[in-house]
Each structure stands twice: as C-alpha cells, then as structure tokens.
C-alpha cells in the first residue's frame, strides 16, 4: 500500500507533471497523447493496423538498417576516443585497439561488421520496396529520399575505408578517387577537393575523417528523419 | 505473440553470450598466461635465494619516441634484464650481454617484428599482412649496421665481413651502396691488353676466371662461346702503343733468373700453385697467360703499364730482368694449354673487322665491364644495377621471385640472388661471383643493414673514421713507388703483412734502418719471410730515414733511457738475472742461438732499437702492437729498466748467415 501511496505522491509533484503531461490510463486519448507529446514517438502513427505489422510486408529491412545505423553511431563514437586521424598515429591506434584497449577488438569488429551489414540491408530494403511497388504515388518522394540515403550509406562506408591507414585503405582510396577523376569536366577538380591535394596524405585522411564522423552522419540523420516522417504521413501498408 | 516473445528473449540471451566472450577472452589473454607462469617461476627462484621479482599482471612496454619504438615484448620476456636468468627457459631468459641499454632502445630496432603486439604470433611478426617479421638469428647482425653505418664493427663479425666483401668484390662498380665509397676501378685497365695476354688465355678467362685463378675477384659473366670469342677479339684489339720486340727466352740465364727471383722474395706476394703470398696474383701458370715481351717491360716499370698496381718497382738491371723473364717462361708454363688449342681458337676467332669490333664494344658495355675495368675509348658508365639504398627494408611484395619456390622473405631472396644471380628471370645481367654460402650470408647481413629505418643522429655511431693519410713530397713518391703500404700499415691504413710504421722513428735507430734497406734479413729464427730487396738508391734511403726520424714519432717516449755512456754493468747484470730467472724470456726469444722460436732473436738489440722504446714496450707490449703475442707481465719500472739495460747491451750476432 505504501508503494502505491508513494507513487501517487511522486506523480502529483510538479516536476513529474512538467515532464509527463498526461496520465497513464489506457484510453484512446491517452495513447494518442503519449505519441503526440514525445519527440521520439511522434514519428510513429498513433494507430497501426495489426495486418500491416506482418513481417512479410517489410521484412523489417528498413528497421534493421536503422538499428545498424544506431549501433554504428554508438561504436563509432567510442572508437573516436582512441583514434587520431594523423600519420602514422592512425595505423598505430588501430594496433592499440587490437592489442591493448580492453574490448578494443570487439568495438572495432562490431563497427566494421555493422557497416558491412548496413550496406547489405539498405540494398535489400531498396529491393523490397522496388519489388513490392512501394515507390508508387504517393510515396515517390520518399523513394527519392531513400535513394539519397543509399548513396549516403555507400559514402559513409567508403570514407570509413581510408581511416585504418593500411595498404588496403590506401589503395582502395587510390582506386576510388581515380574513378572520381574520370568524371567529365569536374573530375580532376573534384578529386583534388576530396583529397585536399594531389596525393593521398594527411590532408586526405583528415577530410575523410571529418566526412565520416560529422558531415555524412548528420546528413544521414536529417534525411532519416524526413524518411520516417514521410513513411508516417504516406500511411502504412495497404493491400494492393 | 508468445512465440515472438520467446524468440526475442532467446536472441537477447544469445547476444549477451556473444558480448560475454570478449571479457573472457581478455581475461584469458596469452600475455596474462605468461605473466602468471613467470610469477610461479619467480617464486620458485626466490625460494632458491635467486633475486627474481614477481610482476603485477599488466602490459609492459619500452617507449622511445625518438626511435619510433613501442615494444611490448617485455610483457612476456620478463627476464631480459635479469642477469640471474641466463639459463632460464624462454620467454624468461635474460638477454645476452650487450653494450646497449635495452630499456631505452627496445627490441624491434634490432630484432624487427611487431613491437605493439601482445600475442606471440603477432609480436614475432609471422602474420600474413605484417611486412616486417623478426630477423632470424643468423642475420641479426644486420641491425648493428643501422646505427654503425659504413664501418667495421668488431663485435659484429658477420656484418664487418659482409661489408669487407662488398668493398673487395667491387659491388660498387654497378650498385650505389650507402656508406661504401666506390672503389673504381677494381680491376686492371684494359688498354693495351692485346699486347699483354695470349688469346687462348683470354678466351678461357672470359669463360670462367676462377678456373685460372681461384681467388680472383672477377665474377663469371656467363658468356656463350660465340660471345666470349667476340669479346676476345675486341679486347685483343686494344694494343699498347709501343710494343717491345719479340722476347726470346735465354736458357742460359734461367739460373740467374731463379736466383734473382728468390732474392727479391717475389713469393712473399705471388704464390706458385697456391703456395706463397696473396698480395699479388698466383704465378704458377703465368707462362700461358702473358706475352714475354710484356712481362719484360712490366718488370722494368709496373706503374708505367698500370698506375694503380700495388707491386713495388724493383730497380733490376736490364740483364737481370731478361734472366727473370727467361726463368718465368721456363718454370711457370701452363700445362693445360697447348699449341693445337691455340691454333684452333685462332681459327674460330672472328676477324677484327669494324662490325665485329663495334659488336664487341656493345657486348662489353652491355655486360657492364666498365664497372670494374677502365678502357680509354669507353667513357665512364653509369651504375648498371639498382641503387641498393633501403634494400634492407624492401617489401617482400616488391621482389620478383620468378617461378622459384623459396621462402617468401627478403633474406632468402637476397641469399638466392647472390648465389644464383640470374635465377629469377630472363635478361638479368648480374654476373656470378661464386660466393661461398658463408660469404653469401655475410653479404645478406650487410645488405639487410641498409634499411630505411630513421635513426636519430644521437644514436648513430660516428665510428673511428681513419684520417686519410696524405704523404706528399719526396717521401710520398717513395712510398708509392715501392708500394710500402701493400705490406706495412701507417696510421691504421693498408697492409697487415709487415710491422706498422706509425711510430717507427721512435722505435728503430736510423742507421740500422738504412742498413736494413740495403740488406733486409729475417728477424725471427723460424721465418724466412722478410722484406724484399728493393734496390733503393742512397738518396731514397736518406729521404725515408729522415722522414721516419722527424715525423713518425711517439712524443711520449724518449729515445734513450740511459745517459750517454749506456747502462751501468750492475744494472745490466740484474737484468740478465730477471731475463733468465724471473721472467723466463728465453722461452720465446733467442740470445746467441739459445732459446725459443716464437719471438725474434734479441742479439744486437741495442743497435736496432732505442732503449726508450724497449722500456715502453716491456711495460706494455700491446701498446704499439695490439695483436702481439708477448704477454703483459705488468713489469714494474725498476725491473723494466734493468731488463732494458741487459737487452741493449747484448752484442750483435757473431756471424750473420748469408741467405
């Protein structure tokens, strides 16, 4: 009984009421209010038909991609504590993670495998959308946002490639930037811009690091918000 | 719904298990196992009263930013600096004695491998993607060379031997090698070769030089017969401008020639069929090699034909020269060649037409003969082989192994390349030096020492670079004319056959030196080796002796120990007592034909050496002759003085045997 009394008193405090604006009573109105008054939940529809939760509608591929994005963000931030985008420290720090940092190898492997998986799931997600015809009006705008997100995923993967600063990284970026150079008219200038010079050196490493850790994740986050918002606005799964 | 909950629950558990693996693996890390084993080991040793401390379980490392070293080898190799663990099992054994501070320079600077790693495989560098595995112990001395560049390192015998071979084999003729100043030309000039040698000898020499002279530095350039014949024609066309008249051997003079040949001690430098000195070429089969008229002019003035020769100029009269040449022609013929073979070759040799000569010249250049030889008509050629800077840290991926199935690492590639230079592919030009396995390993060590590793200046040994000797003027001319430094050394330079001359002016008396130049004899009872009779003029002897007594001195020792009248008889008598009874010098030295055979005879010592030097020598024999056998008895001043008194008062030998 005391517990219930205590709960009543806590819930009645101004602090509690300033955070939670409504009671937790299972009514339609309260359910709607829960969603409306929460910045994270309000991207979600208030009501979802049970039919549209069937796994084979979406295979949950978009959700998995987003979950991997979150995992990458968390492990990525932790890796940033140990990594310096400089020569030769970048490679050394990789070795420190492997041999000395507690669970460093786990951290790095999680980031790496999650990155590979995210690219895979984003592709599968796109394929699913394509084959189920989910790009058709009114969802054509969200298809375009999705394509942009696919490109961002690939760019994130590509910029992360250089950071270990080993032979594989160096030559992969050599090949990649040479491909960029082959683009008509702007190619050479674009390569110069990307590398911050004519060769892959410390400038390129810093640029790729900033793109990988700041610019591209922020852009992806913004586009993800738009993407989810549109999913909600365009409505759930309707039978064809 | 329940099914999904169960699935969720199970997958969460599985995930938790996966995450649990990491801390467990961390806890069971290899290095922890080794440290626990070490602690058990240390406790056991401690019970035996051997001071070995246990270690807290932690990663240990040597960090030296200047050398770019983070070495965690000491995490497992916990006993490296504990001298009580010399016989401990690995990885706890102590490092062999070294002058270097291990705690400062770390391990990978010398041993290579992956210092940052904390696993056995990772640290020893035997991983697929680690380019710098540990050096095998037989090549370890290569690392000494990183901080001791371009010098002989007495503690690193293999490295020093390899560097010596690089210098002597003339590698710098074709390769640029950091720290080795190019010695060029290492071989003789080839201008006038056509007037010097016989065609058959030249052809066989080009095919395989070692067949004629085992220890020649000329490699086998691996020519086909036609190529060798073309090159023979080309080289024979290089005639000397003034060829002497045909020489006819004089059978009557052979005996005189033999006598002169012996008197001049030619055998000190030139062996006959492998027996004798090694400063000059073996003359055992020279009759089949050179034309006699050339030999005649060579003996008259070697430097006129080949300015770089180390052969002294003997001042033989013309008659003696003819006698010596006759003797050589009759004694040193080559039994493996005959006139028929010579005619056969003459028939096959391509004619000296313009086309053939041009083709021969082209072949000469393609083979890179100019790396070792000079020929006036061909301008100096650039290095043929690759620059060897940084070869010691070359990536294995950049080496061409051809179709060979050998271990894929730098040292086995280098070893194979040195032993069989053209095995990795076609169109390779490096000739076959026919190095022994041991020489090849020494060379690999010397090459591996040419690494890219950046060593800060304060770690690089300046070494004892000998100050190049510059003897100018009349004495310099004499020194070069008689090639004194072929046998003697001066300020640490050159020959090791005869005594060092750096402080000769403080050692030997001028009058004795002058007499010795006129008639050299052997100092030791058991040795017939002696200085050759060079036939120096009185003027030259005077100049040389004057130079010795004014320049080649050691200021810390006075010439004479005793006042003008010589030592007192009493003191000399005490010295005799010491000589025979206390120090037992007669075990090695002879006085009046009685005594041992190891050291020189001491009769007439006072006429030969300054007493001040004898005293200083007795005090510390190794001071002037580091390699001398005489033991250092730590003789005190009064004993040394008495011994010196006795020695300098010994009379000269009664009758000098004529040799």
| A57-85 tens-digit pLDDT | 888 899 999 999 999 999 999 999 999 99
Cis peptide before B283 (omega within 30 of 0): no
> Long-range contacts of range B346-350, CB-CB < 8 Å, 24 or more positions apart?
B346/B199, B348/B229, B349/B199, B349/B203, B349/B229, B349/B232, B349/B233, B349/B236, B350/B229, B350/B230, B350/B233
Contact B26 A95 (CB under 8 A): no
Contact B118 A102 (CB under 8 A): no
ipTM above 0.85, yes or no: no
Residue B314 · residue B535 · CB < 8 Å: yes
Q: What are phi and psi of B609, to 5 degrees?
A: -115, 150
Residue B111 · residue B132 · CB < 8 Å: no
Q: How far apart are CA A97 and CA A101, in angstroms?
A: 5
CATH 3.40.50.300 corresponds to the domain B569-648: no
Contact B119 A92 (CB under 8 A): no
How many Cα atoms within 13 Å fall on the side-chain side of residue A7?
6
pLDDT tens digits, residue range B9-47? 999 999 899 888 888 888 889 999 999 999 999 999 989
pLDDT band, residue A238 (cuts 50/70/90)? low
pLDDT, position A236:
64
Question: CA B409, B411, B414, B419 torsion: positive or negative?
Answer: negative
Q: How far apart are CA A92 and CA A183, in angstroms?
A: 35
- Least confident span in B84-93, B342-351, B536-545, B649-658: B649-658
Which comes out higher in pLDDT, residue B287 or B382? B287
Contact A166 B122 (CB under 8 A): no
Tokens 């709607």 belong to A32
Both structure tokens of B657: 């045997």
Q: How far apart are CA B73 and CA B59, in angstroms?
A: 9
Q: How far apart are CA B196 and CA B188, in angstroms?
A: 12
Report domain extents, chain A.
2-43, 53-234
Q: Which of B116, B119, B122 is opposite residue A92, by nearest beta carbon? A: B116
**CATH class given for the domain over B473-550:** mainly alpha
Contact B72 A95 (CB under 8 A): no
Q: How far is A44 from chain B (nearest CA, A)?
A: 21
pLDDT tens digits, residue range A168-200? 999 999 999 999 999 999 999 999 999 999 989
Q: How far is CA B550 from the centre of its chain?
A: 32
Tokens 């040292």 belong to B411
Residues of chain A found within 8 Å of residue B22, distances taken between Cβ atoms: 103, 105-106
Residues of chain A found within 8 Å of residue B114, distances taken between Cβ atoms: 95
CATH (residue range B157-183+384-459): 1.10.760.10
The residues with which B220 forms a beta bridge, in sequence order, are: B432
Residue A126 · residue A146 · CB < 8 Å: yes
Query: Closest Cα partner for B291 from B350, B244, B257?
Result: B244
pLDDT band, residue A239 (cuts 50/70/90)? very low
CATH superfamily of A53-234: Cytochrome Bc1 Complex; Chain C (1.20.810.10)
Query: Closest Cα partner for A62 from A115, A125, A118?
Result: A125
B256 in contact with A, Cβ within 8 Å: no
Query: Closest Cα partner for B143 from B173, B174, B109, B176?
Result: B109
Q: How far is CA B120 from the centre of its chain?
A: 39
pLDDT, position B381:
66
B237 in contact with A, Cβ within 8 Å: no
The residues with which B591 forms a beta bridge, in sequence order, are: B594
Report domain extents, chain B.
30-134, 157-183+384-459, 473-550, 569-648
pLDDT, position A190:
93
Both structure tokens of B354: 């313009």
Instruction: Report DSSP state, residue B220.
Output: B
Question: CA B167, B170, B173, B176 torsion: positive or negative?
Answer: negative
Q: What are phi and psi of B290, to 5 degrees?
A: -100, 155
B22 in contact with A, Cβ within 8 Å: yes
Average pLDDT over residues B319-342: 85
pLDDT, position B114:
93
Residue B647 has pLDDT above 60, yes or no: yes
Residues of chain A found within 8 Å of residue B19, distances taken between Cβ atoms: 106
pLDDT, position B249:
76
Residue B52 · residue B41 · CB < 8 Å: yes
Residues of chain A found within 8 Å of residue B70, distances taken between Cβ atoms: 92
Residue B438 has pLDDT above 70, yes or no: yes
How many Cα atoms within 13 Å fall on the side-chain side of residue A190?
12
A–B interface: beta-carbon pairs under 8 A: 26
Q: How far is CA B593 from CA B588, B589, B596, B629, B646, in A?
A: 12, 9, 9, 21, 17
Residue B616 has pLDDT above 70, yes or no: yes
Tokens 């390779």 belong to B428
SS3 A40: coil
Q: To which H or E segment does residue B71 belong?
A: strand B69-71
Residue B325 · residue B316 · CB < 8 Å: no
Q: How far apart are CA B7 and CA B516, in angstroms?
A: 108
pLDDT, position B98:
87
Average pLDDT over residues B382-389: 79
Both structure tokens of A100: 């000395």
Residues of chain A found within 8 Å of residue B59, distances taken between Cβ atoms: 100
Tokens 């069937």 belong to A54
Both structure tokens of A173: 């970026």
pLDDT band, residue B132 (cuts 50/70/90)? confident
Give CA angle at A94 (A89, A98), nearest 5°: 140
pLDDT, position B468:
58
Q: How far apart are CA B67 and CA B208, in angstroms?
A: 47
Q: How far apart are CA B523 and CA B231, in angstroms?
A: 49
Interface mutation vs chain A, best among B16, B24, B26, most A CBs within 10 Å: B26
pLDDT, position B528:
67
Tokens 């852009």 belong to A219
pLDDT tens digits, residue range B216-243? 889 998 899 999 999 999 999 988 776 5
| Residue B22: closest C-alpha in chain A | A103
Q: How far apart are CA B613 and CA B123, in angstroms?
A: 58
Cis peptide before B436 (omega within 30 of 0): no
- The DSSP line for B249-313 is --GGGHHHHHHHHHHTTGGGT--BTTBS-SSS---TTGGGTB-HHHHHHHHH-HHHH-TT-----
Q: How far apart are CA B99 and CA B349, in angstroms?
A: 62
Tokens 């310096």 belong to A84
Q: How far is CA B356 from CA B32, B232, B369, in A?
A: 75, 11, 18
Contact A105 B59 (CB under 8 A): no
pLDDT, position B9:
95
Q: How far apart are CA B29 and CA B72, in angstroms?
A: 14
Ranges B143-147, B306-310, B441-445, most confident: B441-445
B26 in contact with A, Cβ within 8 Å: yes
Q: How far apart are CA A226 and CA A146, in angstroms?
A: 10
A63 in contact with B, Cβ within 8 Å: no
Residue B251 · residue B326 · CB < 8 Å: yes
Percent of chain B exceeding pLDDT 90 equals 22
Instruction: Write out residues 81-120 of A within 8 Å (CB-CB) of B.
Output: 92, 95-96, 98-100, 102-103, 105-106
Interface mutation vs chain A, best among B3, B19, B22, B132, most A CBs within 10 Å: B22
CB burial class (10 A; 0-12, 13-18, 19+) of residue B193?
Answer: buried
pLDDT, position B659:
40
Average pLDDT over residues B405-431: 90
Contact A95 B116 (CB under 8 A): yes
Per CATH, B157-183+384-459 and B473-550 having the same topology is answered: yes
Residues in chain B, total: 659
- The DSSP line for A160-223 is HHHTT-SHHHHHHHHHHHHHHHTSTTTHHHHHHHHHTSSSSSHHHHHHHHHIIIIIHHHHHHHH
Q: What are phi and psi of B64, to 5 degrees?
A: -140, 95
pLDDT, position B654:
64
Residue B626 has pLDDT above 80, yes or no: no
């Amino acid at each position: 009984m005391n517990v219930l009394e205590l709960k009543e008193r806590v819930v009645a405090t101004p602090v509690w009421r300033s955070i939670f604006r409504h009671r937790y009573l299972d009514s339609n109105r309260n359910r709607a209010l829960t969603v409306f008054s929460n910045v994270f939940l309000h991207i979600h529809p208030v009501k979802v038909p049970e039919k549209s939760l069937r796994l084979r509608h979406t295979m949950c591929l978009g959700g998995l991609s987003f979950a991997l994005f979150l995992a990458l963000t968390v492990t990525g931030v932790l890796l940033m504590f140990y990594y310096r985008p400089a020569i030769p420290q970048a490679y050394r720090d990789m070795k420190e993670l492997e041999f000395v940092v507690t669970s460093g190898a786990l951290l790095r492997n999680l980031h790496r495998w999650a990155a590979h998986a995210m690219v895979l799931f984003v592709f599968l997600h796109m394929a699913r959308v394509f084959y189920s015809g989910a790009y058709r009006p009114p969802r054509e705008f969200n298809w375009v946002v999705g394509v942009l997100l696919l490109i961002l995923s690939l760019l994130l993967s590509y910029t992360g490639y250089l950071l270990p600063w080993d032979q594989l990284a160096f030559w992969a970026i050599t090949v990649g930037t040479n491909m960029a150079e082959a683009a008509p008219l702007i190619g050479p200038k674009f390569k110069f811009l990307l590398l911050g010079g004519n060769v892959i050196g410390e400038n390129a490493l810093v640029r790729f690091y900033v793109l990988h850790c700041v610019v591209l994740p922020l852009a992806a986050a913004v586009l993800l918000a738009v993407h989810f918002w549109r999913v909600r606005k365009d409505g759930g799964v309707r039978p064809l | 719904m329940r099914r999904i909950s169960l699935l969720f629950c199970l997958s969460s558990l599985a995930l938790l298990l996966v995450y649990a693996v990491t801390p467990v693996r961390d806890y069971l890390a290899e290095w922890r196992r080794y440290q626990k084993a070490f602690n058990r080991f240390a406790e056991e040793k401690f019970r035996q009263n051997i001071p070995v401390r246990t270690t807290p379980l932690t990663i240990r490392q040597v960090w030296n930013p200047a050398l770019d070293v983070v070495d965690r080898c000491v995490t497992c190799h916990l006993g490296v600096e504990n001298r009580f663990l010399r016989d401990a099992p690995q990885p706890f054994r102590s490092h062999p004695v070294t002058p270097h501070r291990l705690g400062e320079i770390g391990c990978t600077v010398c041993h290579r491998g992956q210092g940052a790693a904390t696993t056995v495989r990772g640290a020893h560098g035997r991983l697929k993607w680690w380019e710098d595995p540990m050096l095998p112990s037989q090549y370890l001395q290569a690392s000494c060379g990183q901080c001791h560049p371009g010098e002989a390192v007495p503690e690193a015998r293999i490295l020093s031997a390899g560097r010596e071979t690089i210098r002597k084999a003339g590698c710098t003729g074709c390769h640029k090698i950091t720290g080795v100043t190019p010695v060029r030309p290492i071989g003789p000039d080839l201008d006038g070769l056509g007037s010097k040698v016989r065609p058959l000898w030249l052809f066989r020499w080009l095919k395989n030089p070692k067949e004629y002279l085992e220890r020649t530095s000329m490699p086998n350039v691996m020519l086909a017969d036609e190529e060798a014949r073309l090159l023979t024609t080309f080289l024979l066309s290089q005639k000397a401008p003034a060829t002497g008249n045909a020489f006819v051997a004089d059978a009557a003079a052979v005996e005189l020639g033999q006598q002169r040949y012996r008197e001049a001690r030619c055998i000190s430098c030139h062996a006959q069929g492998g027996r004798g000195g090694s400063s000059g070429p073996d003359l055992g089969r020279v009759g089949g090699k050179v034309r006699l008229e050339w030999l005649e002019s060579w003996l008259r003035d070697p430097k006129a034909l080949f300015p770089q020769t180390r052969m002294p100029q003997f001042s033989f009269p013309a008659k003696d020269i003819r006698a010596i040449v006759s003797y050589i022609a009759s004694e040193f013929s080559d039994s493996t060649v005959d006139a028929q073979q010579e005619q056969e070759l003459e028939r096959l040799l391509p004619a000296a037409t313009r086309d053939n000569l041009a083709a021969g010249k082209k072949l000469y250049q393609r083979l890179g003969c100019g790396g070792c030889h000079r020929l006036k008509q061909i301008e100096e050629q650039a290095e043929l082989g690759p620059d060897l800077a940084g070869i010691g840290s070359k990536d294995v991926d950049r080496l061409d192994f051809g179709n060979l199935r050998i271990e894929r690492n730098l040292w086995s590639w280098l070893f194979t390349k040195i032993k069989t230079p053209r095995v990795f592919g076609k169109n390779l030009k490096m000739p076959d030096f026919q190095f022994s396995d041991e020489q090849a390993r020494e060379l690999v060590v010397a090459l591996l020492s040419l690494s890219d590793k950046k060593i800060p200046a304060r770690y690089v040994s300046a070494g004892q670079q000998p100050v190049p000797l510059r003897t100018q003027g009349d004495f310099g001319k004499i020194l070069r004319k008689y090639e004194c430094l072929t046998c003697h050394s001066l300020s640490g330079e050159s020959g090791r056959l005869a005594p060092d001359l750096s402080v000769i002016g403080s050692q030997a008396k001028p009058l004795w030196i002058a007499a010795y130049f006129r008639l050299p004899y052997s100092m030791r009872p058991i040795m017939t080796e002696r200085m050759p009779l060079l036939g120096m003029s009185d003027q030259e002897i005077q100049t040389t002796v004057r130079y010795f007594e004014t320049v080649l001195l050691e200021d810390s020792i006075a010439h004479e120990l005793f006042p003008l009248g010589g030592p007192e008889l009493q003191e000399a008598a005490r010295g005799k007592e010491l000589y025979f009874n206390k120090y037992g010098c007669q075990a090695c030295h002879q006085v009046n034909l009685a005594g041992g055979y190891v050291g020189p005879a001491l009769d007439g010592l006072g006429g030969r050496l300054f007493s001040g030097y004898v005293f200083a020598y007795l005090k510390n024999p190794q001071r002037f002759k580091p390699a001398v056998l005489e033991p250092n008895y730590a003789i005190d001043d009064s004993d040394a003085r008495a011994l010196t008194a006795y020695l300098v008062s010994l009379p000269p030998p009664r009758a000098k045997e004529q040799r």
